[in-house]
Structure formats: structure tokens, C-alpha cells
Structure 1
Amino acid sequence: MNHSEQTLRLTGTGPTKERAFGAVMRQVQSAAAGKDGGVTFRVEPLALEVVSAAEHRRTERFLGVLFPRKRVHYEITMKVRVRITSLDLDSVDFAVREERLKLTQHLLHMR
């Protein structure tokens, strides 16, 4: 098993603060797994740091003048420090078993 620590910089957006934060947290697993070699089976967040958080507001109107409504969109960028536990499959010795089928057995297994 290999243990390593990485710091990831991730950005999430959403219509609420909670959804923007959730978007960041959903990215942690895939971002950490892509950077570490081997098969990742545990990604543990150790620390969170907010780099930037922005609230975007705009007013929309139907046909440009009617029915104004305010729209809000949140964007958050965070640094997430994670500990990754992975297994290097190249270091695992697999036993090789070879089986030879007779012609009739081979025909029965084909579909």
C-alpha cells in the first residue's frame, strides 16, 4: 500500500452556497485518483482552505422590460489537502492458470 498527500485546487459553482461547496467536494475523489499511480481505494480530506468565493447577481427581465427577477450564482475555489491510500498492482504477483478446453467444451461455451 502506498500513502501520499496532495493539495488539490478545485472550483465549484451552483445556485446556492451549499451546492457550490458540494460541487467542490464531489470533484475530490476523481481529481485525487487521477494524479496518483495505482488503484486508489481511500481519499481522506485533511484540510480545507477557501481561496476565493464569489456571488454573481444579475437581474433578468421578460422581453427586456417586464417581470424583473434576480438571479444569484455562487462560485467557490478551494485548496483541499488529501491523504491518498492506493495499491500498486504492478507489485502484486498473480498466479497464472491456463485451461485448455476440448472442442466440444469450446463450442458449448461460445454464444
Structure 2
Amino acid sequence: MSDKQLMETIEKELIIDGTGKTKEIAYGEIFAKLRKQIYNEVNGVVLHMEPQQVYLLEMEEKTFTEKFLGLLMPKTKEAIYIKLKIVVTVKLIYT
């Protein structure tokens, strides 16, 4: 049995965007994308991910009116677009 250290800590910087009806939904989508992107980019078993820094690059709030058949029952809807730069510390075991 060898005493070789297998765990490594790396830091990654990612720019990710997301949209949603509310800010909470948009942020949830961003962090779901973050998780998927980290798993796709690293070669190894991810043990722990921790965002260290989060920077807001862009935020847009759009309000629009939606009408059924172009005329009836107007509804006001909102869409929020958020773009973040996230610095993440990842602990993993290389395989």
C-alpha cells in the first residue's frame, strides 16, 4: 500500500448566466449550471465544491404583457436575466 496523496484542491473561475421568473429561480439555475459545468470540466471524483467569490456582471429585468390570441386576457409577466462570475474551490481525487 502506498502513502500517495490523492486529494487535490483547485480553483476555477467560471462565467455563467441564468434566467427565471424571479431572482431566486435565476440564481438557482446558475448554480445548477455551475455544478454540471464543474463535473464536466474536471477529470476526477469531486468531493467538495465551494464558491469563494461571486461577482454580478449583468442583470436585466424585463416586463412584458402577454395576451391570449393577441387581444384577450392580458397578463403582465417578468423575466430576469443574471450573469455572474464565480470563483470556486474544488476538492477532488484524480482517477
Report the alpha carbon displacement of residue 81 of structure 1 after superposing the two structures with TM: 0.4
Among the aligned pairs, what percent are the same residue? Answer: 29
Q: What is the aligned counterpart of 1:14 among 20, 29, 41?
A: 20
How many residues were matched structurally?
89
- Name whichever structure is richer in helix by fraction: 1
User: RMSD over aligned Cα, in angstroms?
Assistant: 1.2
Retained in 2: the 8 A contact 1:49–1:80? yes
- 2:63 equivalent in structure 1: 57
Report the alpha carbon displacement of residue 15 of structure 1 after superposing the two structures with TM: 0.8
Retained in 2: the 8 A contact 1:50–1:79? yes
Whole-angstrom CA distance in 1 between matches of 2:70 and 2:46: 52
TM-score (norm 1): 0.74
Report the alpha carbon displacement of residue 62 of structure 1 after superposing the two structures with TM: 2.3
Q: In structure 1, the residue corresponding to 2:29 is in which secondary structure?
A: helix
Where relative contact order (Cα < 8 A, 6+ residues apart) is larger, the structure is 2
- 1:96 equivalent in structure 2: none
Report the alpha carbon displacement of residue 41 of structure 1 after superposing the two structures with TM: 1.4
Whole-angstrom CA distance in 1 between matches of 2:24 and 2:44: 32
Whole-angstrom CA distance in 2 between matches of 1:29 and 1:65: 42
Q: In structure 1, the residue corresponding to 2:43 is in which secondary structure?
A: coil
Q: Which amino acid aligns with 1:9?
A: I
- 2:3 equivalent in structure 1: none
Gapped regions of structure 2 (runs ≥ 5):
1-6
Gapped regions of structure 1 (runs ≥ 5):
90-111
Does residue 4 in structure 1 map to residue 10 in structure 2? yes
